[in-house]
Amino acid sequence: FFLMLRRPPRSTQGVSSAASDVYKRQTVATISAQDKKYLETFPNINSISFNLLGLNSIQNLPALSTVKVLELSYNKIKGDLSPLKNCPNIKKLDFTVNDINDENSIEILKEIKHLKHLYLIGNQIQRKPEYR
């Protein structure tokens, strides 16, 4: 089922999907250490959305080995994407409309063996001749 992270649930055991709508009231630069710790309490999560938050970094992205769908669209993310290697089972990764403009920053994605769907629409990297 789907969980909106507005207030902590009593138990996180049965939660398989989460959205970070709690941040929609404000723009945040990155995932806080407190949020990272909280998200790590969801041991069975397989889908998580960080859309429309104004994130410019994923440095505190928790290591969530069960996540298969990670949505990070409509943010300002650029630079180091290495925290994604701590989510090795991602099948769908959505970076639609961000600030990814360097092919070196997406090199880490080669290490995500299960990745089947990558969305980079609306990023500067998409306009480069060597893209694809």
pTM of the prediction?
0.79
User: Per the structure block, which two tokens stand in for 2?
Assistant: 């789907």
Q: What is the pLDDT of residues 114-126, one digit of tens each?
A: 999 999 999 999 8
Strand duo 2-4 + 69-71: pairing: unpaired
Confidence of residue 43 (pLDDT cuts 50, 70, 90): confident
The pLDDT of residue 67 is 94
The pLDDT of residue 19 is 52
3-state DSSP assignment of residue 65: coil
- 81-98: b (≥16 Cβ within 10 Å) or e: bebbeebbebebbbbebb
